[in-house]
Amino acid sequence: MNNENNIKLDRINRAIRHLKGIGIISIQQDIVNKMEVNKTSVSLALKGDSEYLTNKFLKKFNRTFGDIFNESWLLGETDIMLSGQFEKEIEPENERGSITIPMRAFNVIEKQANSLERRDNQIDELISMLKDDRNEAKKTIVPTPPDVDTEKITLLRES
């Protein structure tokens, strides 16, 4: 693998880590699905195969994810990773104690929060059901006196 290809491979891997970090993707299959390309092609490109890790592939990758990355950076021509519009959006402006983030990142955070809330509700519901079952079981268990023949009770129940 030549130096230019090493740079491209490093850049695509950093871009993928960034996308994972902001919650846009989580696994390689997400890239395949979003780019609408063959899984093998993506796999070979991400292994640094120069037949697949081409400028065309990198440009399509960037377009697929909303041109979030500086195309020149992906191609190994500059050191600025994010395109200008996204770079400005994530710079903190802390006069009011707040920051501005891309809407896409906000949507991901909101979806995760909703998912956690639903999961918490499910857990609470399961705990409640378990408590109800335990209380019901306590009501139905009747201790058998030691002098009662349990085999006769079982036979009586079956008839």
Is the pLDDT score of 34 beyond 90?
Answer: yes
pLDDT in tens, 52-85: 999 999 999 999 999 999 999 999 988 888 887 6
Q: Which residues, 6 or more positions from 68, have their beta carbon under 8 angstroms from its beta carbon? A: 18, 19, 62, 82, 83, 86
Q: What percent of the chain stands above pLDDT 90?
A: 42
Return d(Cα 35, Cα 44) in angstroms, integer.
15
- For the stretch 105-136, pLDDT in tens is 888 888 888 888 888 888 989 999 998 888 87
